[in-house]
Structure 1
Amino acid sequence: MTAIRSNPVTTPATLSVPPSAPTNAERYKAFDLLATLVAVVRSDGEALYANAALEDALGISRRVIVGAHFPDSFTQPENLRTILKGVGGNDFSALRYDAGLLRMSRDPLPVHVIVSLTEGTEIIVELLPLEQQARQDREERLAEQALANKELIRNLAHEIKNPLGGIRGAAQLLEMELASPDLNEYTQVIIHEADRLQSLVDRLLAPHRKAHVVGDVNIHEVCERVRSLILAEFPRGLEVVQDYDTSIPEFRGDREQLIQALINIAHNASQALSERIAQGDARLIFRTRVARQTTFGKQRYRLALELHVIDNGPGVPDSIKDRIFYPLVSGREGGSGLGLTLAQTFIQQHQGLIECDSQPGLTDFKVLIPLP
């Protein structure tokens, strides 16, 4: 009799299944969190992956992009073809240039292209809309200017403050020694001007003297406080509109500093509306929104407060548009030129930023502050 040997049965518990390799979509899914446009391609130009931002910009699904010849998405495809071959052949590891990105039913989008080689053979093509690049450059300049202004103001204020006390004291002593009371008018001018300069110096130093008092802030309470102050000063001819997103959460900040910053912006706007206030059609809008996945100050934030102060005034004069946040720059006769400088300082102490977009009939000051 021939014995039949049966093969042992392998149970599922003893099976050794090798882990499956992650797909491109899984490997590069982090790119979907970026606001910049990103594609992963091969040196021959075939697209392996496109993030959500690139889908939106092109106006087509990533299923259409993946597998297609990516350089054909540009107005001058031969430039990217040449660059991809050079990067793939290790002629260079990264390259930057400006190009036009073709879009469905829209004009080409001007972009700054950054091509870089990964550790493997795949090439990452990052596209920054030139408008976004210009904004980042502008924010960087604003931050550098604010830092330089801060040091200049502090040093200059201290240099001015020290002799002011001596000038005022000398004028008071001189006033007591004068034989004719009629001459007191001149010493009073000296004392009055010394006091005015002292007040100016105190305002310059105020943001750097007072401690940053942090607590829970409801931005709409801040807006309502400022709104009531503006309406008390301009009771007729000015309409102050509330356009609030009540879903905005509270955040940690210095309530008094934020009130002062918003007062400075709104007060400047109200004074610029003087002619329209006289006509009775002046309008000031407080608008709050949540900005998602936004980048400012060289950092990306999942959520940020976007607070707009909008007026229908004559706009910021072209001669000072690029300098309105500089100290002692004012577009109004008799203005100190400190309101917006101090507002920018207070907002920057909250890791935020103020931007201005102005044209006749519409001026929009936008405040950005990170939210938790």
Structure 2
Amino acid sequence: MSDGQMSKTENKKKSIANQNMGLDESLYPAVLNAIAHPLLIISETGQIKYVNSATENFFEMGAPILLRQNISNLVMFGSPLLALIKQVNQKQIAVNEYEIQFEIPRLHVTKIVDIQARLLESHSDVEGRHMSIMFIERGMANMIESQILSRNATKSISNMAEILAHEIKNPLSGIRGAAQLLGATANSDDKSLTTLICDETDRICNLIDQMEQFSDGRLPEYESINIHLLIDHVKKLASNGFGKHVKFVEHYDPSLPQISGNKDQLIQVLLNLIKNACEALEDVPNARIKITTAYKAGLKLKVPNRDKLLSLPFELSIEDNGSGIDSAFVPHIYDAFVTNKKGGKGLGLALVAKIIADHSAVIDYVGDKSGAKFRILFPLLHTSIEAKD
């Protein structure tokens, strides 16, 4: 049998096998586009032959433009990706690399990614050898991991707050009352000490009150929310107070549907994030905060009380042009009592993380030395309601 006849026989066998499994080749593009991670196919020369939707988002470039590119045009000279491609071609094996610093020069960004590359099975209808390359952003994996850790942390705080409220607040009220009685008859020197006692007991009570927000096990009331109205409300508060020195820039997608949420809690989240950004920009010339909303398909998560994966396509990002958060603090920013802010208590972002988790959403810090950037991914209205049901 000739090579051509063998090839036809092989293809016929594959076609029969696909039919037996119920596979329809016309569905292949839809299947590939459903993959949440960027996936592209290149030729032996590095010419891009196929990209899925996630790849367009990853490179912030449409498929028609990407398909005219060679992979070497999209990466830095000497990129680890090029060495990985060479290794796969030479050894003809699948190669996985983990936590690669992948630079995209056109966007001036560096992403931490896992890369999986493998040769595709040759096909008689396609010339030459082709390779599939998949990128798995570590930022996404770290984001999911941080949400799990922050939820565990808030549970610990909940238990602690209940104990503190009962065991400490009651004696504190007695101490404060006694200090007030002593202050009424004390001389000027002693009165300053009784005032100090009152001030410190008030401070401890306020701290416990803040911690009690974590222990409130009641489910908040949810309603249909237009997030843009809440952003404008908080922006107005900031512009007339703590954010007078900041210019706000909005990039809204007005076509975005509403989300399901608790209005007061979401305002608290926005207020915390924007206030933190304004405080970080106090000594920065041309201080600017950019607020963006967009639709980003791809990410799906398993959430409690829900069998199916929950899609989180509604993206809200808050970005400033300060110096960013010290990299040493980034892994712990959602932990309670961890802060690098002078006078900070380290409860603001921990509370933000709890509220976001209660909304079946996730929050991620993706900033660098050019500024802090927080990204929140929400489910849409109908999926939010399903998750709570």
TM-score for both structures, normalised by structure 2: 0.65
TM-fit CA distance, 1:181: 0.8
TM-fit CA distance, 1:60: 6.0
- Are positions 1:313 and 2:319 aligned together? no
1:292–1:301: 8 Å Cα contact kept in structure 2?
Answer: no
2:39–2:55: 8 Å Cα contact kept in structure 1?
Answer: no
- Are positions 1:200 and 2:207 aligned together? yes
Give the alignment partner of residue 150 of structure 1, picking from 143, 150, 154: 154
- Equivalent position of 1:250 in the other structure: 258
CA separation of 1:319 and 1:174: change in aligned 2, threshold 3 A: same
- Are positions 1:76 and 2:84 aligned together? no
- Equivalent position of 2:122 in the other structure: none
Residue identity in the other structure for 1:328:
F
- 1:163-198: CA deviation from partner (whole Å, max 9, x where unpaired): 232133034236536895133433332332222112
1:316–1:359: 8 Å Cα contact kept in structure 2?
Answer: yes
1:140–1:297: 8 Å Cα contact kept in structure 2?
Answer: no
CA separation of 1:332 and 1:52: change in aligned 2, threshold 3 A: closer
TM-fit CA distance, 1:236: 4.0
Give the alignment partner of residue 226 of structure 1, picking from 228, 234, 256: 234
Distance 1:346 1:171 in 2: 33
Percent identity of equivalent pairs? 21
- Equivalent position of 1:329 in the other structure: 338
Give the alignment partner of residue 355 of structure 1, picking from 345, 358, 364: 364
CA separation of 1:167 and 1:237: change in aligned 2, threshold 3 A: closer
Distance 1:270 1:140 in 2: 27
- Equivalent position of 2:313 in the other structure: 304
Give the alignment partner of residue 265 of structure 1, picking from 254, 264, 273: 273
- Are positions 1:287 and 2:285 aligned together? no
- 1:39-61: CA deviation from partner (whole Å, max 9, x where unpaired): 9xxxxxxxxxx884699799669
Distance 2:191 2:377 in 1: 51
Please state whether the residue corresponding to 1:336 is helix, strand or coil. coil
Aligned residues: 302
- Equivalent position of 2:31 in the other structure: 30
- Are positions 1:129 and 2:138 aligned together? no
Q: Which has more radius of gyration?
A: 1
Distance 2:184 2:242 in 1: 48
TM-fit CA distance, 1:204: 1.8
Distance 1:55 1:269 in 2: 31
Distance 1:307 1:37 in 2: 21
- Equivalent position of 1:239 in the other structure: 247
CA separation of 1:338 and 1:52: change in aligned 2, threshold 3 A: same
Distance 1:170 1:258 in 2: 36
CA separation of 1:254 and 1:178: change in aligned 2, threshold 3 A: closer
TM-fit CA distance, 1:235: 6.2
Distance 2:338 2:262 in 1: 26
Distance 2:276 2:181 in 1: 42
1:315–1:363: 8 Å Cα contact kept in structure 2?
Answer: yes
1:168–1:191: 8 Å Cα contact kept in structure 2?
Answer: no
Please state whether the residue corresponding to 1:359 is helix, strand or coil. coil
What are the ranges of 5 or more consecutive residues in structure 2 without an aligned counterpart? 1-17, 41-49, 69-83, 101-105, 107-112, 120-130, 383-389
TM-fit CA distance, 1:249: 0.8
Distance 1:333 1:54 in 2: 40
Residue identity in the other structure for 1:168:
S
Residue identity in the other structure for 1:197:
I
- Are positions 1:167 and 2:168 aligned together? no
1:113–1:126: 8 Å Cα contact kept in structure 2?
Answer: yes
TM-fit CA distance, 1:211: 3.5
CA separation of 1:171 and 1:198: change in aligned 2, threshold 3 A: closer
Bigger CA drift: 317-326 or 296-305? 296-305
Distance 1:176 1:366 in 2: 51
Please state whether the residue corresponding to 1:315 is helix, strand or coil. coil
TM-fit CA distance, 1:74: 4.3
- Equivalent position of 2:71 in the other structure: none
- Equivalent position of 1:89 in the other structure: none
CA separation of 1:187 and 1:317: change in aligned 2, threshold 3 A: same
- 1:119-163: CA deviation from partner (whole Å, max 9, x where unpaired): xxxxxx996524x2x234312321221122112211222232222
1:290–1:303: 8 Å Cα contact kept in structure 2?
Answer: no
Distance 1:158 1:363 in 2: 34
* RMSD over equivalenced CA pairs, Å: 3.9
- Equivalent position of 1:140 in the other structure: 144
CA separation of 1:128 and 1:165: change in aligned 2, threshold 3 A: farther
Distance 2:345 2:54 in 1: 46
TM-score for both structures, normalised by structure 1: 0.68
Distance 1:341 1:168 in 2: 27
Higher strand share: 1
2:226–2:259: 8 Å Cα contact kept in structure 1?
Answer: yes
Residue identity in the other structure for 1:77:
V
